[in-house]
Structure 1
Amino acid sequence: MTYENILGWSQLIAMILFGLVIAGMLFYALRPGNKEKFDRAARAPLVVEDDTPAEKPARPSLLREDDENGEDTHGRT
């Protein structure tokens, strides 16, 4: 076998493997049984489990320095 033969066969095998992977991904994504799971995943960022606001922010504000009551300590508004 020459280098050119090995190169040709390896490219052919890689192309076939790539095609099989893509076909498998399409088969998995387009199966009717997965529709509900993908719909739930698409709605996940929109679902709010807890509608009550937090008592105070988790991190202090970076834009202004507030005291514990949320009032500006430097006279700025």
Structure 2
Amino acid sequence: MDYHWMREFADSWALLAMALFFVGTVAFAFRPGSGKQADEAARIPLKDD
């Protein structure tokens, strides 16, 4: 593979894929009802105490 082709791919499609992944992750974290699940997951280490 040529360096210039890889550089062009990283500047366009890979950047777009990372941006979409980031937006999807944020949307998943802030979806309605996720606060309750996050609170339950945060209490897991303290269940045995």
TM range (shorter): 0.7 to 0.9
Q: SS state of the match for residue 33, structure 2?
A: helix
Backbone CA RMSD of aligned residues: 1.9
What is the count of residue pairs matched by the alignment? 45
Task: Give runs of aligned pairs for residues 1-77 of structure 1, distance below 5 A.
Answer: 4=4, 6=5, 7-8=7-8, 10=9, 11-48=11-48
Q: Percent of aligned positions with the same letter in both sequences?
A: 33
Misfit runs of 4+, over 4 Å? none
Task: State TM-score, norm by structure 2.
Answer: 0.74
**As a proportion of its length, which structure holds more helix?**
2
Query: Unaligned stretches of 5+ in structure 1?
Result: 52-77
Code of the aligned partner of 2:20: L
Q: Distance in 2 between matches of 1:41 and 1:22?
A: 22
What TM-score results when the alignment is normalised by the length of structure 1? 0.50
Task: Mark the structure with the bigger radius of gyration.
Answer: 1
Specify every segment of 5 or more residues in structure 2 that has no aligned partner in the other structure, as ranges.
Answer: none
